[in-house]
Copies of this chain bind each other. A is one copy, B any other.
Amino acid sequence: MIIDVHGHYTTAPAALGAWRELQIASLADPHKAPRPGDLEISDDELRESIETNQLAKMRERGCDLTVFSPRASFMAHHIGNFQTSSAWAAICNELCFRVSALYPGHFIGAAMLPQSPGASTTTCIPELERCINDYGFVGINLNPDPSGGHWTSPPLTDRYWYPLYEKMVDLEIPAMIHVSTSCNPCFHTTGAHYLNADTTAFMQCLTGDLFGDFPTLKFLIPHGGGAVPYHWGRFRGLAQELKKPLLDEHLLNNIFFDTCVYHQAGIDLLTKVIPVKNVLFASEMIGAVRGVDPQTGHYFDDTRRYIEATSNLSEEERDLVYEGNARRVFPRLDAVLKAQGR
């Protein structure tokens, strides 16, 4: 079985974007404020958007199940205030839930949180609980920089985030650490901000002792861990300078990397450097890089091909990357699969 732990609903019907445009316009002119009920998307429209896109590619590539969350770049937590994010997150999460209900064998949800710069993280908990308890979601996406590229929130090791971690531990859900669109002109969203955030989050955890406080907390760092595996020697050396334990002990019981690295040499490095138990299959399809690689004739984001081709993994290890690790990191996913007899 092949589980893709990193998929976003990037192909939602256009009505969703139109609703968001109205919501943004209403920040300047409250008369324009749309109500949640103004958004009407039928099940057929959802099916059309999924079957011709994600599900078609999953079938082509042999992927069975995707952990599916709202489009990351559209979270845009920097827009408006908590109420803005709250209404937007509720709508986006509900759409992902409806997709998971239409295709229970193929999609299962992960929640976007209604984060807002400066707002207490406790404000996110009702939506989080709704998604886990009512929608059967199995994880969340946590944005370490709700300012959108200005990095005005405290590091992930700060107690600011602890209410969320307490809830995550209670509910046994991991968080993918995933920023949203950059409104800082220095940072291209998918070419710089995403990768920088991955590296930044890892180093924040390295310098702190967060997992001393939360031994069962789990973070999934997307995009192959940003720069981290390529600079694994640097991070091992920095941990040593900072008198931290070895990374295996200090971080690798709690931090995991996905395989959203879009060429063979990158996957070869990832699977050589990072212990197999810490690598989870993912493609972020359909996402930032949608084209066909002229060097291979295959989609850049068809990461299964790289996993199949790497000489670093035995068949047993490949199964861990495809399925076993995901079932361990997402216990609620494992429970759903078992209930489905899978």
Contacts and interface: CB of A to CB of B under 8 A. Distances in A.
A241 interface: yes
B199 A288 contact: no
A74 interface: no
Contacts of A223: 231, 234
B185 A196 contact: no
B269 A190 contact: no
Contact of A185 (B154, B230, B290): B154
Contacts of A195: 196, 199, 226-227, 231
Q: Assembly of this chain: how many copies?
A: 2
Interface magnitude class on chain A: 35 or more
Contact of A230 (B145, B155, B230, B238): B230
A145 B151 CA distance: 14
A261 interface: yes
A293 B200 contact: no
Contact of A261 (B144, B230, B288): B230
A153 interface: yes
Interface of A: 144-145, 149-151, 153-155, 184-188, 190-192, 195-196, 199-200, 203-204, 206-207, 223-224, 226-227, 229-238, 240-241, 261-266, 268-269, 272-273, 288-291, 293-295, 300-301
28 contacts: A145-B186, A151-B186, A151-B187, A186-B200, A186-B204, A188-B203, A188-B204, A190-B238, A191-B206, A192-B200, A192-B203, A195-B199, A196-B227, A199-B199, A223-B234, A230-B261, A231-B266, A232-B265, A233-B293, A233-B300, A234-B261, A234-B263, A234-B300, A237-B291, A237-B301, A241-B291, A265-B272, A268-B269
Say whether chain A's binding surface is mostly helix, strand, loop, or mixed.
helix
Contacts of A262: 231, 233-234, 237
A119 to B, nearest CB: 17
A269 to B, nearest CB: 5
Given A188-B204, A224-B230, 4 more contacts: A144-B186, A191-B234, A232-B266, A234-B288
A286 to B, nearest CB: 12
Contact of A266 (B151, B154, B233): B233
What 10 A-B pairs have minimum CB-CB distances, sorted nearest first? A233-B263, A233-B262, A237-B289, A227-B227, A230-B230, A196-B196, A191-B203, A237-B300, A192-B203, A151-B186
